Copies of this chain bind each other. A is one copy, B any other.
Amino acid sequence: MNFSLSDEQKLLKDSVDRFVAERYGLDARRTLIASEDGYGRKNWKTFAELGWLAIPFSDASGGLGGGPIEVMVLMEAFGRGLVVEPFISTILMGATLVETLGDKEQKAAIIPPVVRGEKLISFAHVEAQSRFTLSDVITTASTDGNGYRISGHKAVVFGGDSANQLIVSARTSGNQRDEDGISLFLVDAEAKGITRRSYGTVDGLRAAEITLSNVLVGPETMLGKEGNSFAGIESVVDGATAAVCAEAVGVMDSLQEQTLEHLKTREQFGLKLGKFQALQHRSVDMFVACQEARTMMYVATLSLNKPRADRIRAVSAAKSHIGQAGRLVGQEAVQLHGGMGMTDELAVGHYFKRLTMIDTLFGNTDHHLERFAATVHG
- A interface with B by C-beta (< 8 Å): 276-281
Q: How far, in angstroms, from A280 to B278 measured CA to CA in the complex?
A: 8
Residues of B within 8 A of A279 (CB): 277
Residues of B within 8 A of A280 (CB): 278
How far is the CB of A241 from the nearest CB of chain B, in Å?
Answer: 29
| Least Cβ–Cβ distance between A350 and chain B, in angstroms | 29
When distances are taken between beta carbons in the complex, the residues of chain B under 8 Å from A281 are 278
User: Cβ of A278: which chain B residues have Cβ within 8 Å of it?
Assistant: 277-278, 280-281
Question: What separation, in Å, do the CA atoms of A277 and B276 have in the docked complex?
Answer: 7
Q: How far is the CA of A80 from the CA of B255 in the complex (A)?
A: 45
A258 to chain B, nearest CB (A): 22
Complex: A281 Cα to B279 Cα, angstroms: 10
List, sorted by A's number, 7 A–B pairs whose CB atoms are closer than 8 Å. A276-B277, A277-B277, A277-B278, A277-B279, A278-B278, A278-B280, A278-B281
- Whole-angstrom distance between the Cβ of A143 and the nearest chain B Cβ: 44
Cα of A278 to Cα of B282 in the assembled complex, Å: 9
Which 7 A-B pairs have CB atoms at the shortest separation, nearest pair first? A277-B278, A277-B277, A278-B281, A278-B278, A276-B277, A278-B280, A277-B279
CB distance from A281 to the nearest CB of B (A): 4
Residue of B nearest to A281 (CB): B278
Specify which chain B residues have a CB less than 8 angstroms from the CB of A277 in the assembled complex: 276-279
How far is the CB of A17 from the nearest CB of chain B, in Å?
Answer: 35
Residue of B nearest to A279 (CB): B277
The minimal Cβ–Cβ distance linking A59 to chain B, given in whole angstroms, is 54
A280 to B277, CA, bound (A): 10
A284 and chain B: residue at smallest CB distance: B278
Assembled-state Cα–Cα distance A276/B276 (Å): 9
Q: Complex: how many Å from CA A279 to CA B276?
A: 11
| Distance between A16 CB and nearest chain B CB, rounded to angstroms | 38
> In the docked arrangement, what's the CA distance between A277 and B281, Å?
10
Give bound CA distance, A278 to B277, whole Å. 5
Q: Bound complex: CA of A276 vs CA of B275, how far in Å?
A: 11
Q: How far is the CB of A66 from chain B (nearest CB, A)?
A: 45
With A and B bound together, what is the CA distance between A277 and B278 in angstroms? Answer: 5
A276: min CB distance to chain B, Å: 5
Distance A253 CA – B278 CA, assembled complex (angstroms): 23
Assembled-state Cα–Cα distance A154/B74 (Å): 62
Distance, CA A278 to CA B283, complexed state (A)? 12
Q: How far is the CA of A276 from the CA of B277 in the complex (A)?
A: 7
Q: A57 to chain B: closest CB distance in Å? A: 48
CA distance A334 to B65 in the complex (A): 56
Measured between alpha carbons, how far is A276 from B278 in the docked complex, in Å? Answer: 8
Select the residue from A278, A279, A280 with max chain B CB neighbours within 10 A.
A278
Q: Which residues from chain B contact A276 at a C-beta distance below 8 Å?
A: 277
Cα of A195 to Cα of B350 in the assembled complex, Å: 69
With both chains docked as a complex, state the minimum distance between the C-beta of A273 and any C-beta of chain B, in angstroms.
Answer: 11
Write the nearest CB–CB distance from A103 to chain B, whole angstroms: 50
Residue of B nearest to A275 (CB): B277
* Assembly CA distance A87 to B143 (angstroms): 76
- Bound: A252/B108 CA distance, A: 70
Q: For the complex, what is the distance from the CA of A277 to the CA of B277, rounded to whole Å? A: 5
The smallest beta-carbon distance between A284 and chain B, in angstroms, is 10
Expressed in whole angstroms, the Cα–Cα distance for A281 and B281 within the complex equals: 11
